Structure 1
Amino acid sequence: MGTLWYGGTFYTMIEENDRIEAVYTENGKIISTGDLKSLKHTYQDRITEAIDLNGKTIYPGFVDSHLHIVGHGEKIVHLDLSKHTSAEYVLESIKERLETLSPGQWLIGEGWNENQWEVPRVIHRKELDEISDGHPILLTRICRHAIIANTNAINQANIKSDSPDPQGGKIARDSSGEMTGYFLDTAQDLVKVAIPVRTQADLKQLIDKSVDDLLQLGLVGGHSEDLAYYGENSFEKTWNAYHESIDGVKRKFRAHLLVHHEVIDDFERHHYSYGDGNAYINFGAMKIFSDGALGGRTAWLNEPYHDDPTNYGIPIHTEENLEALIKRARSLELPVAIHAIGDRAILTVAKLLARNPLKNGRRDRIIHAMVVNQDVIDALKKTNAVLDIQPTFVSSDFPWVLDRIGEERAERAYPWKTFLQENIPCAAGSDAPIEEVNPLLGIQAFVQRRSTLDGKIYIEKQQLSTYEAISLYTKGSAYIIGEEKSRGEIKAGNLADFTVLDQDPFHVHPDQLDQIKAVMTIVDGDIMYQRTE
């Protein structure tokens, strides 16, 4: 009837260093924990399987609190530009990929980041035109707040030379007023409407690839926002594709889906509510973007950019419209999940949340919360919001972010330790495919704050302990969705979701955390991934 798990070190995460010898589970739930001898005796008539974990280390299942599951699948199948170190390398990769495409097929590249190139610059559309005028080409920046498109793609999208900038976006132009092919924030959508629409079968395949990859990295679940981006009937077909992929038999994974405000009418029309779905797929908060990103200088700042003194970034909505969206969510008894990176954006969001409190015990979330000052901290403490933070942004943003916001503001940025010291609740994610999804890389980034670009440690006082870091992937990810009483800790009554590692993160040097591998991922008491030597 049930399974006895033993032979490893189980960290319950109830408190630091709390360990047990064994766990007994039935029907996807933890029935009891404790020493092996006692559990064997107590449940001897009910144990149908005993699994020896051979000295491995076991935690409550790791959950990524912020990623894009379909987008991660797209990164797997699209041209990956995230490791490229020059514009020339990007262009050469495009040439090679074009040779594999059929005539007129779109080429989509993911993850270019000029800040890690030997000579930082933005590729011009004419450089893409020289490679191919027969294929539409679209290259998404690592932050997903900017794209580069060639002339073919721009023409297919019917964008004219005099097309105006949309609210919350910018069409980059050169000194003569000619489009460069660089589209920022909401202006990206002007091009993306021309991309052939993905079918439900396409989406199911991308979710399959993505979830299988997440499982082998030790993730039992993720909070994702995918429902609004795939053409007509995007909400329904994406929701259906999730259910086809994560069927609860062949594939088990806990997918908590945020609902973008642009498809909230679809959500309401189907009479859905927060938490509706099943044990593996359910609805979460209403997603809103309030600003852009630091890389493209579109995050909304209180003071101008250090390297662009006339630029304060871009608010995606007016304050009036942003409050109207929050009120729309409240009318459906929904929390909101608001992307806010710049200090002005975070402060605006915090004040609006305090003015429009949620009264049903559910929790809002502010996603990223990267540029912070004391006014922001004070305002956050007056809300119910949980901060949805991404540790590897420190690894990939420094040192170039010093150019964007200057050293003084950078000292107060990405202040993970301060948030915890101020008792502001947090959860941890990757923002994949923008960053690498491996949770061990995130834990290492929390603990070290070491740049992958120059190898230096930045703002050492904000480093977290290994226990704090892992807590944000376990207890934090459960708390942000109100499931702290059933997930995030190994204790009786909780879900039988476990992440099994080949080494103990508490007993390796921080430099070695990224070398730890998941050897088994258990969801609902079933092994969904097992590493073969």
Structure 2
Amino acid sequence: MGRLWYNGYIYTMEQEGSVTEAVYTEDGWIIATGTKEAIQTEYHPSEEINLEGASMYPGFTDSHLHMIGLGETMLSLDLSDCSSAYEMKRALQERAQSLEPDQWLVGEGWNENNFSDRKIFHRTELDEIAPNNPVLLTRICRHASLVNSAALKKADITKETIDPDGGIIVRDYEGEATGYLLDQAADLVKSIQPPVSDELLRAALHTAVSSMLQQGLTGGHTEDLNYYGSFHRTFRTFQDVINEHQLKFRTNLLVHHEVLHDMQEYGYEFGRITDYLSFGAVKIFADGAIGGRTALLRSPYNDAPETSGVAIQSKAGLKKIVNKARTANMPVAVHVIGDLALEFAIEALEEYPPPEGEKDRLIHAQVTPPDLVDRLKNLAVTFDLQPRFVLSDFPWVEERLGQERLRHAFAWKTLLHAGLDCAGSSDAPIEPVNPLQGIHAAISRKSPMDDSHNGYLPEQKLTRFEAVSLYTTGSAAAVGKADELGTIAPGYRADFTILEEDIFQIPVDAIADVSVRGTVIEGEFQYDGSTT
């Protein structure tokens, strides 16, 4: 029995301006589009959904985030809203008072660039805040962490501890650890934390998926499988939470290269597992982030000439991992932020092309000079972009990169005009998971509340169609599903995002605050805003 969807602004995203009056769905698929009268005459739908003037789009998909990490942040101490070191200190003190002795104080999302003094807490200050508890505070970029003396002691990090590959233990003039750990160095502490319970993992994932559905997302491409004790345990969490009997949500699981062998040992292969779960590309970190000066640059940081960042993988090491993925007949998804990291990745992909018909993914790609863009045109790649990074990273990123490099940074329009495929994402919990905030940022490149300028690097602004395409056709193409997701047309999945207002017509700065009327997967409401 089928459903007729009508009386709204239905954008098919087949091409700019393409709309249809009505859609007919049956058994989770789009059967027909056209006029309401023609569909009623031919198909005799058993149910009619009156959109009441709302706008409907193909289901929005976030092409890169950490879903369990998002849920953890929602359930733990969130420091992302702290606008000063004082606020952060107060939040930590309040949490510390509620903990038992030796219980870990864990916080997420601090960002010293939001503080007027750019303060980074020293371990001794954290000792005073939480004298009876180990402390682990993860920076918003997830490429730096703060710990106190108790955490350093538990991890056996001393003056003699050597920096791990791909990480830095920041030290004072006497060689003692300050408590500031960059990239892989933070894993020395994370590895000795008490294990998260199965119940908490399920609660975190369920919380994340529920939130994503409420914000109009029908799917997400997530990287979680290497962080919660074992591949099998984490994958089982996804199997438990996301299935047609409990919660529908199209989830593509990136496979961190360190658990690729585990995936194979359990008999799994790249591709679809169920209609809602699939294994995606092999995830590799090539470098860190600009905020913590660990993104790998061709030349030193403008505001810290003593460093050019951190290579989490050497050039040779990166090639070795890419080749390992190819032996498993899988594409790769490489985290690259700096231009040198991007150059390393390009060399590896040139030497080891993806399997026939597949595309590799380059995640973030924040510094893309013209010579590398020219080489990228010859590769089968998709870019996972995070438009909200523009709002979070400017204007301080200018200090890091300097004006010359900034001309080729956050250059989404340049990539699209070069004919390169791009998908839209949040990297949540680093940025808000709300896709409308991402769409607004891609169009305006400024805060909705900021009328003081025309947007950061305004020449890189996307059109509304380009911005919405990132989260529809772009995200579908990134996982090789452009023939069944991302478009409202016969033969495609009946996944829809329904909004109270038409984001192609309202003022740009109103887009980020539009309410979600409903989120539909396989023709069924997974979130119905009209009932809340």
| The two structures share one fold, judged by TM-score above 0.5 | yes
Partner of 1:3: 3
Q: For residue 85 of structure 1, what is the amino acid of its counterpart?
A: S
Partner of 2:29: 29
1:334 maps to 2:322 = no
Contact 2:331–2:355 (CA under 8 A) maintained in structure 1:
no
CA distance in 1, matches of 2:271, 2:354: 16
Q: For residue 34 of structure 1, what is the amino acid of its counterpart?
A: G
1:56 deviates by 0.3
Partner of 1:307: 303
Partner of 1:88: 86
Partner of 1:199: 197
1:108 maps to 2:106 = yes
1:418 maps to 2:414 = yes
Moved more, 141-150 or 131-140: 131-140
Of 264, 269, 276, the match for 2:265: 269
Cα offsets for 1:363-384 (capped at 9, x unmatched): 1000000011111101211211
Partner of 1:292: 288
SS at 2:504 equivalent:
helix
- Aligned 1:172-191 pairs, distance under 5 A: 172-191=170-189
CA distance in 1, matches of 2:495, 2:233: 28
Contact 1:107–1:137 (CA under 8 A) maintained in structure 2:
yes
CA distance in 1, matches of 2:190, 2:227: 9
1:335 deviates by 0.1
CA distance in 2, matches of 1:166, 1:103: 30
CA distance in 2, matches of 1:237, 1:22: 43
Cα offsets for 1:37-78 (capped at 9, x unmatched): 11111111xx22211111100000000000000010011011
Partner of 2:75: 77
Give every structure 1 segment of 4 or more consecutive aligned residues whose post-TM-superposition deviation is greater than 3 Å.
Answer: 451-456
Q: For residue 146 of structure 1, what is the amino acid of its counterpart?
A: A
Contact 2:290–2:400 (CA under 8 A) maintained in structure 1:
yes
Partner of 1:38: 38
Cα offsets for 1:84-138 (capped at 9, x unmatched): 1111211110111122223322111110000111210211111110012211111
- Aligned 1:134-533 pairs, distance under 5 A: 134-231=132-229, 234-450=230-446, 456=453, 457-531=455-529, 532=531
CA distance in 2, matches of 1:453, 1:163: 47
SS at 1:338 equivalent:
strand
- Are residues 502 and 453 of structure 1, via their aligned partners in 2, closer, same or farther at CA, if it must alter by over 3 Å? closer
Percent identity, please. 46
CA distance in 2, matches of 1:40, 1:53: 16
Q: For residue 431 of structure 1, what is the amino acid of its counterpart?
A: D
CA distance in 2, matches of 1:101, 1:18: 56
Contact 2:168–2:184 (CA under 8 A) maintained in structure 1:
yes
CA distance in 2, matches of 1:461, 1:322: 33
SS at 1:334 equivalent:
coil
How many residues align? The count is: 529
SS at 2:527 equivalent:
strand
SS at 1:458 equivalent:
coil
Contact 1:20–1:33 (CA under 8 A) maintained in structure 2:
yes
1:411 deviates by 1.7
Q: For residue 102 of structure 1, what is the amino acid of its counterpart?
A: E
Structure 2 residues not aligned, in runs of 5+: none
SS at 2:321 equivalent:
helix
Q: For residue 41 of structure 1, what is the amino acid of its counterpart?
A: T
SS at 1:21 equivalent:
strand
Cα offsets for 1:261-306 (capped at 9, x unmatched): 1111101112211114100011000000000000000000011100
1:199 deviates by 2.9
Q: For residue 9 of structure 1, what is the amino acid of its counterpart?
A: Y
Contact 2:73–2:429 (CA under 8 A) maintained in structure 1:
yes
Q: State the superposition RMSD in angstroms.
A: 1.2
CA distance in 2, matches of 1:159, 1:176: 15
CA distance in 2, matches of 1:204, 1:109: 19
Moved more, 447-456 or 344-353: 447-456
Cα offsets for 1:237-264 (capped at 9, x unmatched): 1111111111212310001000001111
CA distance in 1, matches of 2:94, 2:355: 55
CA distance in 2, matches of 1:39, 1:271: 45
Q: TM-score, normalised by structure 1?
A: 0.97
CA distance in 2, matches of 1:467, 1:163: 52
Moved more, 235-244 or 95-104: 95-104
CA distance in 1, matches of 2:3, 2:278: 27
1:128 maps to 2:126 = yes
CA distance in 2, matches of 1:427, 1:155: 42
Contact 1:168–1:185 (CA under 8 A) maintained in structure 2:
yes
1:204 deviates by 1.2
CA distance in 2, matches of 1:174, 1:38: 74
Q: For residue 376 of structure 1, what is the amino acid of its counterpart?
A: L
CA distance in 2, matches of 1:100, 1:56: 45
Q: For residue 154 of structure 1, what is the amino acid of its counterpart?
A: L
- Are residues 417 and 260 of structure 1, via their aligned partners in 2, closer, same or farther at CA, if it must alter by over 3 Å? same
CA distance in 2, matches of 1:452, 1:92: 29
Cα offsets for 1:180-223 (capped at 9, x unmatched): 10000010100101211123332111110000000000000000
SS at 2:136 equivalent:
strand
